[in-house]
Structure 1
Amino acid sequence: MLDKGWITNYISIGLVGVSYAFEGYAANAIRAAGLFALSGAVTNQLAIHMLFEKVPFLYGSGIILDRFESIREALKILIMEQFFTPEKIEAFVQSQERSIELAPIIEQTDFTPAYEALLKSVMESPMGGMIGMFGGESLIAKLKEPFLEKIKLSTIEISQSESFMNALNSHLHQGGAHLSGTIGEIVESRLAELTPQMIKEMLHGLMKEHLGWLVVWGGVFGGVIGILSSLLI
């Protein structure tokens, strides 16, 4: 099934083809609308592609992969500061619990800082100006909820892993401070398993689905500009 971007491209090309069935002003207006719409749609498709892939001679392409380390570090800081603080671990140790279910805590945790780290990386990239023309942060905001949901699921998997629970139980008697360091090492090691390719694939699916409208609106505005330009010629 074709996505919104390619449908927009084909409609634009179709307008160019249909224009040859007319003459005079109508032909020029339809042809200009089609060509400008195609230009706007293809340009925005390229912009989305450049977020994930390096394109030769195009500075700023591949920004998601370039900022991968900062995104992963933001996730680690968020996890440790939200529910693995020394105070929370100490309270847990004193309760003499030998098992813990972190899923409810994770579900209530605000992972917005991780999303904001991604948003900042995108908007500060050379692509930020282009995205800003078509809604900027409000357009990318459509990615927020799907992104946060995937981060929560990944964090829950970390908290429920056998290595995590074994380390938690075996180090309880050593006190909160030592346990906090141990948990930090485990979280860091698990996050280290997230490769740039994994992050790219996860975010690419979200971008492709939700930023498809960026391509559509590029075609729409391009078509309008094409019609207006034909009026001025």
Structure 2
Amino acid sequence: MLTSKSFLTNLVSAIIFTISYLIPEFIGRNALMMASLFALSGAFTNWVAIYMLFEKIPGLYGSGIIALRFDQFKESIRSLIMENFFTKDNFIKVTQGALPHTIQPELIMDKIDFDKIFGGFISVIKSSTYGSVFKLFGGEKALEPLRKPFKIEFERQASEILVNIDIASVLQKETDFETFKTKISAMVETTLNELTPQRVKEIVEEMIRMHLGWLVVWGGVFGALIGFVSAVFF
């Protein structure tokens, strides 16, 4: 999806620029040429910025920020699980009525503040070396359409981690909440330690990359407008 949007936006801009550059002079030729050139510049710049979020490019400082912030993302996932799933209230509910069973993640998903988690993710991007690029092309408003798909994918990834944790076996042995939480925390930590920087990058990529294609499209649109205005009024 991202590749399709990005490729088409850059291709259309490049074709229009090439045609307007090669054809004979006519009224509006310069405006068309400038609009397409600026569109190509805006779309290509945004495509490179998105690519650099996920991939390390030798010689370009700050590229591959997702993998570089590997530990920070892991800590965010750990905090999400321990602070939202394994609370004292949930512990009481489980020990009272569901001792023989594992916790069903979907039953307590509605207690998670996904807006707070999404806000934290945006903060990571804003604090990176590419924060100024995203600010230039819409900033947080440009990323707002990602909120819902981010929630859906984060919920799925968190559920996968929880499914692998044998809560019932701990509950059968422990009735003290703090002891329970300590053991669960160790189990979560063990599971997260199995995540590699590559896997964390893939998780984040699955959440948002296909939707970031719109940044490339809008980069082309705004670039075309700027180019057109420049050609007409300057």
Whether TM exceeds 0.5 here: the answer is: yes
- Counterparts of 2:180 and 2:121, CA distance in 1: 30
Larger relative contact order, structure 1 or 2 (CA cutoff 8 Å, min sep 6): 2
Q: Residues 77-156 of structure 1: matches in 2 within 5 Å? A: 77-90=79-92, 92-93=94-95, 97-112=99-114, 113-156=116-159
- Counterparts of 1:232 and 1:176, CA distance in 2: 70
TM-superposed deviation, 1:99: 2.1
Number of the residue aligned with 1:184: 185
User: Which residue identity does 2:154 align to in structure 1?
Assistant: I
Change (3 A) 1:29 1:22: farther
User: Which residue identity does 1:141 align to in structure 2?
Assistant: E
Q: Residues 1-233 of structure 1: matches in 2 within 5 Å? A: 3-19=4-20, 20-90=22-92, 92-93=94-95, 97-112=99-114, 113-161=116-164, 163-165=165-167, 167-172=169-174, 175-232=176-233
User: Which residue identity does 1:18 align to in structure 2?
Assistant: I
- Counterparts of 2:222 and 2:141, CA distance in 1: 18
TM-superposed deviation, 1:185: 0.7
- Counterparts of 1:60 and 1:90, CA distance in 2: 45
TM-superposed deviation, 1:141: 2.0
TM-superposed deviation, 1:37: 1.1
Which secondary structure state, in structure 2, belongs to the residue aligned with residue 155 of structure 1? helix
Is 1:16–1:34's contact at 8 Å kept on the other side of the alignment?
yes
Q: Which stretches in structure 2 are left out of the alignment for 5+ residues?
A: none
Q: Which stretches in structure 1 are left out of the alignment for 5+ residues?
A: none
Which secondary structure state, in structure 2, belongs to the residue aligned with residue 3 of structure 1? helix
Is 1:78–1:111's contact at 8 Å kept on the other side of the alignment?
no
Change (3 A) 1:93 1:202: closer
- Compute the TM-score of the two structures, normalised by the length of structure 2: 0.86
User: Which residue identity does 1:194 align to in structure 2?
Assistant: L
- Counterparts of 1:201 and 1:74, CA distance in 2: 16
Cα displacement string for residues 83-127 of structure 1 (whole angstroms, at most 9, x for unaligned residues): 312454255435582324332333213242332221110011121
- Counterparts of 1:16 and 1:95, CA distance in 2: 68
Tell me the C-alpha RMSD between the 2 structures.
Answer: 2.4
- Aligned residues between the structures: 231
TM-superposed deviation, 1:156: 2.3
Is 2:94–2:103's contact at 8 Å kept on the other side of the alignment?
no
